[in-house]
A and B are shown apart, each in its own frame.
Chain A
Amino acid sequence: MPDDTPILLMEHISKSFPGVQALDDVTFQVNRGEIHALVGENGAGKSTLMKILTGAIPRDRGTIYLRGQATEIDSPGRAQALGISMIHQEPALIPYLNVGQNIYLGREPKGALPGFINWPILYAQARQQLGKLNIAIEPTTAVADLSIAQRQMVEVAKALSLNADIIVMDEPTSALSERETETLFNLMRSLKEQGVTIIFISHRIEEVLAVADRVTVLRDGQLVGVAPISEVDMGQVVRMMVGRELGEMYPKEEVQRQEKVLQVRGLSRGNELHDINLELYKGEILGLAGLVGAGRTQLARALFGIDLIERGEIWIDSQKVRIDSPQKAIALGMGFVPEERTSQGLFLGLAVRHNITISALDKVSRLGFVSLREAARLAQDYVSRLAIRTPGLQQKVRNLSGGNQQKVILARWLSLNPKVLILDEPTRGIDVGAKAEIHALMGQLAKQGVGIIMISSELPEVLGISDRILVMREGRIVAEFRRGEASQDEIMLYATGGERNSDRQKA
């Protein structure tokens, strides 16, 4: 290419959300016709940057230069018109229309009569478009009948038919098998030969190294570095992604190992979980690290009886148990604080006291009638013990801060005296002060003998608070570390599949 202006330059981009500086003066430059990887941990700001590029959200500061011109991109439609297409993790096609209809949706070739569609031409064009990419899918196939990988290819074909010359792929491989991934990479390479520029977002460093020309690393909303792939190795990229100091924010008292409270043998479920073995001791905090989609939430859901396990055994207090419903799990002394706090954990429109007591109503009821006084006493008790900041028990949970909401959920479980508590991303979106309180609370619970499994994507948190850490990848447990044995880099290596020898377990 004689023209060496970068096709895209996003300069000094900043964006803040309430309480979070999502992007802080980030400059991102992409050359024409390259495959440019954008990497970073969860929350590093990759998605925010791409949402700004594709017009989904406005930026606070900064300038976007497209093909050398300062450009405003204020809507996804505008981005599309400017030749920028985004291919999402979950392809956004219309499932019950067929492939051809999806590719030319809104741009159907006109038929003989006004309002009618020239179907033969539509399918012929679609077939041609797919053919250019060597995609062997009939245009008349319903999208609902395609695999995720095939849907992504259809999205690529759609993007090209829109004359897109910048294609953003957001974690396209997260749901693909190895072979499908290879096919996708070949497609990406052939797009590159056709002069299309690709921005490739991925967690998986090995993939980035395999397919990208350059890589930009973000961390905590800031640009960490840009490098040609030929000049970096896996270790360097990982260090750039995680490289921060471990604070002293995570006080966890050492706990003596006591007896096992939970034991899992050979647990498997479909494509999500493969041969999971783990044990949890009384008073232990077991950290579950891994990337989004590694199967950590699936494991929690399986343990709690939300998703039924297909193979494997679970023991609680050395009793073999069958957990086939959340009710059963609760009866066996388990508690689960889901990741989606507001949608799965709380009744936002109900008062604090109802949210706390709703699972423990049996304790405060006589003959099926709830004693309001006792329920209020129970709720008040937990509000004081957990220092939940609320104007009163009648306050709607919707109006509390994230940290206090999380404490309300914890209070609900504590009122049931659980033996095992599973916390999925317990401090996500919670400010620093409340975070420390929740960590302290977890430590306290552990001291009282509760076994805690904590899923967290924040490595400092996992490292700081866990007695033991399990790393998951692709539905398997790939590594185990004792407290103090692990480092962020090491965990990240296992989580991203950098460490090939996945059988090696430190115990």
Chain B
Amino acid sequence: MTVKRLDSLVEVLRRFNVFLIFIGLCVLLSLLSRDFLSLSNLLNVALQTSIVAITAIGMTFTMLTAGIDLSVGSIVALSSALSAGFIMKQGIPTYLAMALAMAVGAGLGAISGLLIVKGRLPPFVATLAMMAVGRGLTLVYTRGWTIPIMLREFTFWGAGTIGPVPVPVVVLVVVFVAAHIVLSRTRFGLHIYAVGGHQETARLAGIHVDLITIMVYVISGFTAALAGIITAARLYSAQPNVAAGLELDAIAASVLGGTSLFGGVGGVGGTLVGALIMGVLHNGLNLLEVSSYYQKVVKGIVFILAVLLDLYTKGRK
């Protein structure tokens, strides 16, 4: 009987999925801490979540094709370093520097995609290698030093606000809406689901499976690079070791949001909520003055629970 009850619980979780968890978590935290529900704190949560969420949206694209992108953390760091460095060291105009950094991120994604499609490497392996290369390039470029950047035109993208809303949150909303429209309304989006759902059928239906696979890694590289620029702008500096382990947060957010590790199921709506859950959790633990060491443990446990939930609900199909 308990198994049955657990079953229906899982079903409920899957249906209304993470949104309920999110609301529950918020209610819990607002009871535990008076500061939680204040506008400034909520905007703070949104700000802290935005970098993970933007990266996770790109990650969701790769996961929908039954892939994964482990290189996003490194690409965030590289794009931080390049955008700040291009401006401060090479004297390239701000927006051109940002565009170049994003192009590099997308380009590295394209290389991962090519390795997966043409080299037939498992996505895990290709992007694991890209993770090392990306971090290495960052260290080479920065020689291990932090690149400070105070230029307002640049830092606006991380530290600025529009009205009361932090700019990264606005960027996140734009990225989210665009990604959602692409996935739910366009041919490209539908074909991503098809490739992840049944590759052979997709190929037979005349879908350019290879091109779509490459494109999702380009998108993932691009969103990571965007997150990297925001990171540098927010910190007023590019730090070579920034965003280490970010790929796990991004994967966790996607999986928590109901995107399957096996492809074909999910979407960025869930991913956004998944990222918010992690952000709220982080914020709440801070408000409750839990040591950051324990926070890592909690994060790990949440990740495991999310994957178990995925495997369990998937296994019953």
- Whether the pair B205, A107 counts as a contact (CB closer than 8 A) is yes
Is the CB of A456 closer than 8 A to any CB of chain B? no
With known contacts A105-B205, A116-B187, A92–B200 Cβ distance under 8 A: yes
Is the CB of B186 closer than 8 A to any CB of chain A? yes
- Whether the pair A144, B317 counts as a contact (CB closer than 8 A) is yes
* A159 CB → nearest B CB, Å: 12
- In the complex, the chain A residue whose C-beta lies closest to that of B260 is A96
Measured CA separation A92–B190 after assembly (Å): 17
- In the complex, the chain A residue whose C-beta lies closest to that of B198 is A94
Tell me whether chain A's interface is mostly helix, strand or loop, or mixed: loop
0 or 1 for each of A332-350: is its CB under 8 Å from B? (1 = yes): 0000000000000000000
Q: Chain B residues near A80 (CB, 8 Å)?
A: 204
Is the CB of B124 closer than 8 A to any CB of chain A? no
* B293 CB → nearest A CB, Å: 36
With known contacts A96-B193, A101-B190, A144-B317, A117–B201 Cβ distance under 8 A: no
Measured CA separation A477–B201 after assembly (Å): 37
Tell me whether chain B's interface is mostly helix, strand or loop, or mixed: helix
* A266 CB → nearest B CB, Å: 25
- Whether the pair B193, A115 counts as a contact (CB closer than 8 A) is no
Measured CA separation A94–B200 after assembly (Å): 10
Q: Chain B residues near A92 (CB, 8 Å)?
A: 198, 200-201, 204
- Whether the pair A108, B265 counts as a contact (CB closer than 8 A) is no
With known contacts A77-B206, A106-B207, A96–B187 Cβ distance under 8 A: no
Give the contact-size bracket for chain A. Answer: 20 to 34
0 or 1 for each of A195-237: is its CB under 8 Å from B? (1 = yes): 0000000000000000000000000000000000000000000
* A54 CB → nearest B CB, Å: 10
0 or 1 for each of B190-217: is its CB under 8 Å from A? (1 = yes): 1101100110111011110000000000
Q: Chain B residues near A77 (CB, 8 Å)?
A: 204, 206
Interchain CB contact (< 8 A) of A115 among B188, B202, B205, B207: B188
Is the CB of B185 closer than 8 A to any CB of chain A? yes
0 or 1 for each of A84-116: is its CB under 8 Å from B? (1 = yes): 000000001111110001000111100100011
- In the complex, the chain B residue whose C-beta lies closest to that of A85 is B204
- In the complex, the chain A residue whose C-beta lies closest to that of B188 is A115
Is the CB of B105 closer than 8 A to any CB of chain A? no
Measured CA separation A77–B191 after assembly (Å): 17
Within 8 A of B (CB), among A258-291: none
Q: Chain B residues near A96 (CB, 8 Å)?
A: 193, 197, 264-265
Q: Chain B residues near A460 (CB, 8 Å)?
A: none
- In the complex, the chain B residue whose C-beta lies closest to that of A81 is B206
Is the CB of A76 closer than 8 A to any CB of chain B? yes
Interchain CB contact (< 8 A) of B186 among A94, A105, A115: A115
- In the complex, the chain A residue whose C-beta lies closest to that of B317 is A144
- Whether the pair A115, B187 counts as a contact (CB closer than 8 A) is yes
Q: Chain B residues near A144 (CB, 8 Å)?
A: 317
Measured CA separation A93–B264 after assembly (Å): 12
* B216 CB → nearest A CB, Å: 15
- Whether the pair A93, B205 counts as a contact (CB closer than 8 A) is no
- In the complex, the chain A residue whose C-beta lies closest to that of B266 is A96
- In the complex, the chain B residue whose C-beta lies closest to that of A122 is B190
Within 8 A of A (CB), among B254-269: 264-265
Measured CA separation A397–B271 after assembly (Å): 45
Q: Chain B residues near A105 (CB, 8 Å)?
A: 190-191, 194, 201-202, 205, 207
From A101, A111, A117, A119, name the one whose CB has the most chain B CB atoms within 10 angstroms: A117
Measured CA separation A161–B185 after assembly (Å): 22
Measured CA separation A332–B206 after assembly (Å): 53
Measured CA separation A119–B197 after assembly (Å): 20
- In the complex, the chain A residue whose C-beta lies closest to that of B204 is A76
- Whether the pair A117, B197 counts as a contact (CB closer than 8 A) is no
- Whether the pair A93, B198 counts as a contact (CB closer than 8 A) is yes
Measured CA separation A104–B188 after assembly (Å): 14
Q: Chain A residues near B265 (CB, 8 Å)?
A: 96
Within 8 A of B (CB), among A123-172: 144
- Whether the pair A108, B197 counts as a contact (CB closer than 8 A) is no
Measured CA separation A80–B187 after assembly (Å): 21
- Whether the pair A107, B206 counts as a contact (CB closer than 8 A) is yes
Measured CA separation A105–B193 after assembly (Å): 11
With known contacts A101-B190, A105-B201, A115-B187, A94–B264 Cβ distance under 8 A: yes
Measured CA separation A255–B237 after assembly (Å): 86
- Whether the pair B187, A94 counts as a contact (CB closer than 8 A) is no
Measured CA separation A77–B198 after assembly (Å): 16
5 contacts between A and B (CB under 8 A): A94-B264, A96-B197, A101-B194, A106-B191, A106-B194
Name the 7 nearest CB pairs between A and B, nearest first.
Answer: A106-B205, A94-B197, A106-B206, A105-B205, A94-B198, A92-B201, A96-B264
Seen from chain B, the residues whose Cβ lies within 8 Å of a Cβ on chain A are: 185-188, 190-191, 193-194, 197-198, 200-202, 204-207, 264-265, 317
Given A101-B190, A108-B190, 6 new contacts (CB under 8 A): A94-B197, A94-B201, A96-B197, A97-B197, A106-B202, A117-B186
